[in-house]
Amino acid sequence: MPGKLKVKIVAGRHLPVMDRASDLTDAFVEVKFGNTTFKTDVYHKSLNPQWNSEWFKFEVDDEDLQDEPLQITVLDHDTYSANDAIGKVYIDIDPLLYSEAATVISGWFPIYDTIHGIRGEINVVVKVDLFNDLNRFRQSSCGVKFFCTTSIPKCYRAVIIHGFVEELVVNEDPEYQWIDRIRTPRASNEARQRLISLMSGELQRKIGLKVLEMRGNAVVGYLQCFDLEGESGLVVRAIGTACTLDKLSSTAAFLPACNSPSKEMKEIPFNEDPNPNTHSSGPSTPLKNQTYSFSPSKSYSRQSSSSDTDLSLTPKTGMGSGSAGKEGGPFKALLRQQTQSALEQREFPFFTLTAFPPGFLVHVGGVVSARSVKLLDRIHNPDEPETRDAWWAEIRQEIKSHAKALGCHAVVGYSESTSICEEVCILSASGTAAVLNPRFLQDGTVEGCLEQRQEENLPPGCGFCHIPYDELNMPFPAHLTYCYSCRKQKVPDVLFTTIDLPTDATVVGKGCLIQARLCRLKKKAQAEANATAISNLLPFMEYEVHTQLMNKLKLKGMNALFGLRIQITVGENMLMGLASATGVYLTALPTPGGIQIAGKTPNDGSYEQHISHMQKKINDTIAKNKELYEINPPEIPEEIIGSPIPEPRQRSRLLRSQSESSDEVIELDLSHGKKDAFVLEIDDTDAMEDVHSLLTDVPPPSGFYSCNTEIMPGINNWTSEIQMFTSVRVSRLSNINLTNQTLNKNFNDLCENLLKSLYFKLRSMIPCCLCHVNFTVSLPEDELIQITVTAVAITFDKHQAVQTTKTHVEKSLQRASADNEELLQFPLELCTDSLASHPFSPAKEHLESASSNSGIPAAQRATSIDYSSFADRCNSWIELIKLKAQTIRRGSIKTTVSVEKASPLTEGHFRQRSAPACANSTVGVVKMTPLSFIPGAKITKYLGIINMFFIRETTSLREEGGVSGFLHAFIAEVFAMVRAHVAALGGNAVVSYIMKQCVFMENPNKNQAQCLINVSGDAVIFVRESELEIISAQQPIASCQPACSGGEIAT
Amino acid sequence: MTNELDIFVGNTTLIDEDVYRLWLDGYSVSDAVGLRVRSGILEQTGATAGVLQSDTMDHYRTFHMLERLLHTPPKLLHQLVFQIPPSRQALLIERYYAFDEAFVREVLGKKLSKGTKKDLDDISTKTGVTLKSCRRQFDNFKRVFKVVEEMRGSLAGNIQQHFLLSDRLARDYAAVVFFANNRFETGKKKLQYLTFGDLAFCAELMIQNWTPGAVDSQVDDMDVDLDKEFLQDLKELKVLVADKDLLDLHKSLVCTALRGKLSVFPEMEANFKFIEPCRSDRWPLNDVRLFLNQYSASVHSLDGFRHQALWDRYMVTLRSCLLRMYHD
């Protein structure tokens, strides 16, 4: 009996009138946990009942504490008929299960009904007495902290970053069970809400167990998602990064197990599940027995490990000629080897983090992604290994091999997503291939002179740009130059990544949100034919999206993308692609070239004129953008630029956007003939469209900036004025003669108009930046496109802009010119150095293995599961190249673009901002933000994860103000419930907030609508910096502060 | 391509004061969009008409959702659905309960019944206030009236407590409730020149002095009704007019005291009774004040008159009211 849960029902207020005769209500409350239910007395004739109940005590296993939500139902007592339910409150008691988080949950909770929405509030107090029995940790994983934040939470220090944890749980969807035909919509919704709550709890517990096995004490970057697979079931899956965290203020770690960095940990590959999780022991509820989970089965992991060896690139330190180079090649090699060994034990060396401790990220290879189209089928036997779990494992394997092909042993900024339409499901995974510093991956033993040296030698803020792969055997075509910052290492011309901009990256000017939008019609089809059609379309979409991104990046005069997210959405008769990223100009990379337009029929005079007109327009736009985003990189003297790179630089500069790299590769060049990659041919209708869409993107109005990363490069003087919002639009296509072209235009307009509306709505916040702009697209019906945007608008102080970048640039410039002579003298040595430091030869064999790899699982599938056999998939761009080369005439694809070392642009910059005018924080205000920080404030405590799922349904849509009225009210209610839970935990903000799902269905003819929303975030307590100064003035020691400042963001 | 659904929900509820004004004034969304376009907002912000339409719709929807809460303002403070800073909450409430001078003068003193509500059409036409806005203002009057009608304690205080209005607005509502309850006809032609401010001033004095609450702060309806006893007692004062001796004596006392001080002395002597004639004779305000002071003070010198306290309760209030009402 490791825990006692105590609940007290204090009072209610603003209850609805349940008795028309008296205009009053006779309310009482049922408190349920597991299978035990308590009831309060009936409080007669009041809309503001004061129950003041005794403490209801539940004696339960901590396992149940983790899985089960506390369920509070408010009812109206009726003497003659059945009691009417007023509404419910589900309280996740998980935050009470670890000592550092909340100790009590106490406050007013909205009483929620799935049909009526919020109906009054109830005041509840919840406490948990845990009997700390360490042995029990086998079954439960109480004590493991969860964070949605995708960086090391402020006020913690990462002792070890262990790596990837994943789990999924499936069940039948109550909405599709036979019983749903006879029960009320309310009962069905509640069954669903309860089930998902239960499954989330179970999932979290299981992930926690894996973390404990890895000797970790926390999960960072925890991302949990639901797949509503309809008839075939309900999947709840989660990924995260296991870490051992140390609280900064107190040196004593709270988990003794983690305090002694155990060596064995390295020996334990985390997948070798010592947890005989065959069944949960103890008095489990009947419901639990219906919930099946699949942990990677032994057989599977064997399979994967075998393929692992096929692909693995054994580090050959000696390779690449012995010349050590002056940068301490042997050290590097050793470092790499260590990292390699640390990571190779992991089945998937993935990290869901997007920002990292300084020094963690060494190099970035580029974006790796994989997609797979599957046919959903009812899960007949959930214990079979060939299930959703296997599907994901397959994709992850692919991601891993892609990363290896890029000379990288790890993937950071990793995420997974699905898109489901009827029985077809697209699984997607993407991340950024990277080389990591082993220091954080193991316990502290490696720490020492090695890293120190390494760091000393690294030039500031450009190391992550240096290519990790072998220059002579590049896995994809790339145009390399010497780093514009340090002049020592090779860098690609363009970098694409899924992570945030590293803190120490030097950037010129400001960044901006860049989106690529694309629609492709497809024929309606059934099952396999449908899946095949989708599979065939995917490579083209990926390619188009990539080309658009590249074009838009050039149009902005920038050379790198951060936070790249590509979403492919499947509908009945179309596919939608939406890529969002934040473009920046990295000083380490070369200046991007322009875009050149060429006509096919050059003899026609008027045609020529048209083309030159277009060309001029494009050139003007580039010039304007450079001005707008303040992109004026320092002029580097030509002799410095004159790097000893053998490529015909001039040619590329003259004929094409010089940054386009791919056509240098022979393989592609051959297939392209003599055509130029970045020359857009106007005769091509698609290209015409491209050019057009390039020019229709309107820059935000003056005073506005936008990005989809945590913070905007080039802006660092935030005020404390923030506004988080969600905006939803559903647009109906006029369906008659839909072509790809009109569809694209419609989609583009929809996105642009939505952005325009946001700028208008938030105009009072100017100067302002929309941060973490997150678009999601869904296709709820044939002719409907739904776009959901969540972001936070932050006002910044125009007059206090701190020009840190400039000095950085100058510094690096000086350094560059200083190093230059040296550089010119020893070009050869440098080359070999880079070889030595990149002892992989990812080369062609890997490309092949990557593609052949895709063939093997296909065969396996054929034998294993009925439907998935045909299922084809679209790999990352690596695979695409070949396809492209044959099928597409213009443009080149760059499989991967690299980046690295993201960590929120923090400390230094922020510290310099003056303290903002501190708004009088009124009691009860709860801030919400998708960012991991609150401007102008310091997070002092993490109270636990918020993970909530709600369903709302109506049968009186018109009366509730139509679809807009219905959804507006629902989203406002969801915000309210999140805030109430945070406040009850004692918090005043939720950070890393995300609306993971917003599934909206309507049937206006029946006057009905239904919506499902899933949100999550981290509940925190923050203290305004101005208040903090007072405190620290009083306590001048404040030893934790300098340490904290590393991650802290202030206004 | 049309937007079927178009919403924006902020963690802090966005309130646009200009749009709120238009909504309160009862304009339809399209009218409001038209008015906003004319205000030049498109040029200032570079927005399109579509954006403006969407924005206006969104604000109107928000206001519509808030309206239910505005009916009982304390709920707005305690509700959890809309996070609104306190200063904004106060603004929302204050503006929602504010009323138009033209409208209130039409309704003041009338019974707040369905009958009157039916006349709102006419009032709307007459005053130029939109029917929607008339309804809101009328419903506000009625709602406040219903809540405080039977309540103990200070009328304005009760209103402030239950509707969280500013001091000033709460006192105005007290006047509205007072007039409505006592059905003082304020619509008469000769009272047309009086502003709501004048009448509210008088109502406040009457509430202070002539209601049961003026004597005993524990009785029901203390501020709403006039003190019946007091009204009864007032009959006693008729003696001042009815009794010829007393009247003459009073008159001579007043005349003696004011001789030489008033520029309009002859008229006063002749008219010695009520104030309306003064206006037609264009007395200066100061003369009226002097006269009234003397008029009430000299009663104390009347030996045969025993209701001095009653007289004061009556006259102090009356004098102030008369002075306030004495203007063009």
Q: A761–B58: do the CB atoms touch at under 8 Å?
A: yes
Write the pLDDT tens digit of every residue in B180-205.
887 777 777 767 777 888 777 777 77
Tell me the three state secondary structure of residue A318.
coil
pLDDT at A877 over 50: no
Grade residue B317 by pLDDT with cuts at 50, 70 and 90.
Answer: confident
Distances (CA, A) of A615 to A292, A618, A890: 59, 5, 17
Q: A110–B81: do the CB atoms touch at under 8 Å?
A: yes
Residue with the larger pLDDT of the pair A648 and B11: B11
Let me know how many helices (H) and strands (E) chain B has, helices first. Answer: 21, 1
Report the distance separating Cα A875 and Cα A369, nearest Å.
Answer: 7
Give chain A positions within 8 Å (CB) of B80. Answer: 108, 110, 118, 121, 976, 979-980
Q: A757–B54: do the CB atoms touch at under 8 Å?
A: yes
pLDDT at A525 over 70: yes
Which of B6, B63, B82 to substitute to test the interface with A, most A CBs within 10 Å? B6
Residue with the larger pLDDT of the pair B32 and A614: B32
Predicted confidence at residue A466, as pLDDT, reads 84
Grade residue B213 by pLDDT with cuts at 50, 70 and 90.
Answer: low
pLDDT at B57 over 70: yes
Distances (CA, A) of B242 to A93, A156, B230: 83, 92, 19
Q: B80–A108: do the CB atoms touch at under 8 Å?
A: yes
Write the pLDDT tens digit of every residue in A40-81.
999 998 999 999 999 999 988 777 888 888 999 999 998 777
Beta carbons within 10 angstroms of residue A673's beta carbon: 8
Q: How does the average pLDDT of chain A come out, rounded? A: 72
Question: Shortest CA distance to A244 belongs to which of A318, A153, A325, A358?
Answer: A153
Which of A724, A964, A967, A990 to substitute to test the interface with B, most B CBs within 10 Å? A964
Report the distance separating Cα A509 and Cα A81, nearest Å.
Answer: 70
Q: What is the DSSP letter of A144?
A: -
Report the distance separating Cα A948 and Cα A976, nearest Å.
Answer: 12
Give chain A positions within 8 Å (CB) of B62. Answer: 968
From B7, B13, B86, residue closest to A964, measured CB to CB: B7
Residue with the larger pLDDT of the pair A738 and A517: A517
- Range ranked top by mean pLDDT from A154-158, A823-827, B1-5, B238-242: A154-158
How large is the average pLDDT for residues B151-157? 83
Predicted confidence at residue A787, as pLDDT, reads 95
Q: B75–A979: do the CB atoms touch at under 8 Å?
A: no
B309: contact with A, CB 8 A cutoff:
no
Report the distance separating Cα B193 and Cα A561, nearest Å.
Answer: 72
Q: Which two tokens stand for residue A542?
A: 């990926």
Report the distance separating Cα A204 and Cα A1002, nearest Å.
Answer: 32
Beta carbons within 10 angstroms of residue A800's beta carbon: 14
pLDDT at A607 over 80: no
- Of A371-385, A616-630, A730-744, B209-223, the least confident: B209-223
Q: Give the rounded percent of residues in chain B with a pLDDT score beyond 70.
A: 67
Q: B8–A972: do the CB atoms touch at under 8 Å?
A: no
Q: A749–B86: do the CB atoms touch at under 8 Å?
A: no
Count contacts between A and B (CB, < 8 Å): 127
Q: Which two tokens stand for residue A608?
A: 């020529």
Q: Which two tokens stand for residue A352?
A: 């869901």
Report the distance separating Cα A959 and Cα A949, nearest Å.
Answer: 25
Between residues 755 and 784 of chain A, which touch chain B (CB distance below 8 Å)? 756-761, 763, 784
Q: How does the average pLDDT of chain B come out, rounded? A: 80
Residue with the larger pLDDT of the pair A1002 and A837: A1002
Residue with the larger pLDDT of the pair B206 and A936: A936
Report the distance separating Cα A578 and Cα A574, nearest Å.
Answer: 13
CA angle A253, A255, A260 (to 5 degrees): 75
pLDDT at A813 over 50: no
Q: A925–B1: do the CB atoms touch at under 8 Å?
A: no
Report the distance separating Cα A271 and Cα A345, nearest Å.
Answer: 9
pLDDT at A340 over 70: no
Residue with the larger pLDDT of the pair A312 and A349: A349
B204: contact with A, CB 8 A cutoff:
no
- Pick left, alpha or beta for residue A1038 (phi over 0 → left; psi -120 to 50 → alpha; otherwise beta): left
Residue with the larger pLDDT of the pair A613 and A1031: A613
Residue with the larger pLDDT of the pair B320 and A284: B320
Q: Which two tokens stand for residue A946?
A: 């918020």
What are the beta bridge partners of residue A796? A718
Between residues 52 and 91 of chain B, which touch chain A (CB distance below 8 Å)? 52, 54-55, 57-58, 61-62, 64-65, 75, 78-83, 85-86
CA angle B240, B243, B248 (to 5 degrees): 75
Parallel, antiparallel or unpaired: strands A410-421 and A156-171: unpaired
pLDDT at A763 over 80: yes
- Of A141-155, A643-657, A927-941, the least confident: A643-657
Grade residue A490 by pLDDT with cuts at 50, 70 and 90.
Answer: confident
pLDDT at B164 over 90: yes
Which of B11, B53, B78, B81 to substitute to test the interface with A, most A CBs within 10 Å? B11
Chain A residue with the nearest C-alpha to that of B85: A922
Question: Shortest CA distance to A1023 belongs to which of A1043, A1044, A1037?
Answer: A1044
Tell me the three state secondary structure of residue B28.
coil
Predicted confidence at residue A249, as pLDDT, reads 65
Predicted confidence at residue B58, as pLDDT, reads 95
Distances (CA, A) of A728 to A283, A918, A919, A968, B172: 44, 32, 29, 9, 43
Q: Which two tokens stand for residue A863?
A: 């034998």
Helix (H) or strand (E) holding A1013, with range, is strand A1008-1024
Distance from CA of B60 to the nearest CA of A (A): 10
Distances (CA, A) of A178 to A39, A78, A821, A1014, B207: 31, 30, 78, 25, 69
Predicted confidence at residue A505, as pLDDT, reads 85
The packing angle between helices A843-864 and A877-887, to 10°, is 100
- Range ranked top by mean pLDDT from A187-201, A637-651, A912-926, A1028-1042: A187-201
pLDDT at B278 over 50: yes
In sequence order, what DSSP letters do the residues of A211-267 get, joined into one string? HHHTT--EEEEEEEEEEE-GGG-EEEEEEEEEEEEEESS-SS-S-HHHHS--SHHHH
How large is the average pLDDT for residues A103-120? 92
Report the distance separating Cα B101 and Cα B125, nearest Å.
Answer: 15
Q: A976–B81: do the CB atoms touch at under 8 Å?
A: yes
How large is the average pLDDT for residues A782-787? 89
- Range ranked top by mean pLDDT from A297-311, A338-352, A481-495, B96-110: B96-110
pLDDT at A914 over 60: no
Q: Which two tokens stand for residue A68?
A: 């089960």
Which of B2, B3, B7 to substitute to test the interface with A, most A CBs within 10 Å? B7
Q: B4–A732: do the CB atoms touch at under 8 Å?
A: yes
Amino acid at A948: M
Amino acid at A159: V
Grade residue A630 by pLDDT with cuts at 50, 70 and 90.
Answer: confident
pLDDT at A897 over 50: no
From B3, B9, B78, residue closest to A725, measured CB to CB: B9
> Residues of B277-308 as b/e, b for ≥16 C-beta within 10 angstroms?
ebeeeebeeebbebbbbbbbebbeebeebebe
pLDDT at B271 over 80: no
- Of A277-281, A719-723, A972-976, B253-257, the least confident: A277-281
Residue A176, C-beta contacts closer than 8 angstroms, at least 6 positions apart: A230, A231
Q: B1–A749: do the CB atoms touch at under 8 Å?
A: yes
Q: Is residue A1036 classed exposed, middle or buried when 0-12, 13-18 and 19+ CB atoms within 10 A define those classes? A: exposed
Grade residue B221 by pLDDT with cuts at 50, 70 and 90.
Answer: low
Residue with the larger pLDDT of the pair A902 and A496: A496
Report the distance separating Cα B283 and Cα B286, nearest Å.
Answer: 8
Predicted confidence at residue B211, as pLDDT, reads 72
pLDDT at B305 over 80: no
A976: contact with B, CB 8 A cutoff:
yes
Predicted confidence at residue A353, as pLDDT, reads 92
Predicted confidence at residue B242, as pLDDT, reads 62
Helix-strand-coil split of chain B, %, nearest 5: 70, 5, 30
From B4, B8, B83, residue closest to A727, measured CB to CB: B8
Predicted confidence at residue A288, as pLDDT, reads 29
Q: Which two tokens stand for residue A317?
A: 């330190």
Report the distance separating Cα A548 and Cα A246, nearest Å.
Answer: 43
From B46, B78, B81, residue closest to A972, measured CB to CB: B81
Report the distance separating Cα A864 and Cα A614, nearest Å.
Answer: 54
Give chain A positions within 8 Å (CB) of B61. Answer: 961, 964-965, 968
Q: Give the rounded percent of residues in chain A with a pLDDT score beyond 90.
A: 30
B6: contact with A, CB 8 A cutoff:
yes
How large is the average pLDDT for residues B287-297? 71
A968: contact with B, CB 8 A cutoff:
yes
Q: Which two tokens stand for residue B79?
A: 């509700």
Chain A residue with the nearest C-alpha to that of B60: A965
Predicted confidence at residue A788, as pLDDT, reads 96
Can you tell me the ipTM of this complex? Answer: 0.83
Chain A residue with the nearest C-alpha to that of B65: A969
Q: B5–A975: do the CB atoms touch at under 8 Å?
A: no
Predicted confidence at residue A165, as pLDDT, reads 93
Q: B83–A724: do the CB atoms touch at under 8 Å?
A: no
Q: What are phi and psi of A1033, to 5 degrees?
A: -65, -35
Chain A residue with the nearest C-alpha to that of B56: A761
Write the pLDDT tens digit of every residue in A666-714.
232 322 333 334 555 555 555 566 666 667 677 888 889 999 998 888 8
pLDDT at A213 over 70: yes
Parallel, antiparallel or unpaired: strands A679-681 and A596-598: parallel
Parallel, antiparallel or unpaired: strands A937-954 and B2-10: unpaired
CB A363 within 8 A of CB A840: no
Residue A82, C-beta contacts closer than 8 angstroms, at least 6 positions apart: none
pLDDT at A633 over 90: no
Predicted confidence at residue A868, as pLDDT, reads 31
- Of A61-75, A242-256, A945-959, the least confident: A242-256
CA angle B224, B225, B226 (to 5 degrees): 130
Grade residue A918 by pLDDT with cuts at 50, 70 and 90.
Answer: very low
Tell me the three state secondary structure of residue A572.
coil
